[in-house]
Amino acid sequence: MDCLFCKIIEGVIPSAKVYEDDKILAFKDINPQAPVHVLVIPKKHIASLDGIDSTNIDYVNHIFAKVPEIAASLGLGGGYRLISNCGDDACQSVKHLHFHILGGKKLAEAMA
Ligand code: AMP
Ligand code: ZN
98 is catalytic: yes
pTM, two decimals, is 0.98
Assigned domain for 30 exists:
yes
For a pLDDT cut of 90, what percent of the chain falls above it?
Answer: 99
- Mutation choice for ligand 1 from 5, 10, 39, CB with most ligand atoms inside 8 A: 39
Compute the average pLDDT of residues 22-41. 98
In a domain, 87, yes or no: yes
* Model confidence pLDDT, tens digit, residues 66-92: 999 999 999 999 999 999 999 999 999
Among the listed residues 37, 45, 62, 98, the single catalytic one is 98
For position 97, what pLDDT does the model report?
A: 99
What pLDDT score was predicted for residue 30?
98
Domain that residue 38 falls in: 4-103
Ligand 1 surroundings by CB, under 6 angstroms: 4, 13, 15, 29-31, 39, 85, 91-94
Count the domains in the chain.
Answer: 1
Three-state DSSP state, 61: helix
Q: Is residue 110 part of a domain?
A: no
Residue 93 included in any domain: yes
Candidate of 15, 17, 25, 93 to mutate for ligand 1, largest count of ligand atoms within 8 Å of Cβ: 93
Confidence of residue 27 (pLDDT cuts 50, 70, 90): very high
Is 109 part of any domain?
no
In a domain, 34, yes or no: yes
The CATH number that applies at residue 53 is: 3.30.428.10
The sheet with strand 99-103 has its strands ordered as 17-20, 24-28, 36-42, 99-103, 80-83
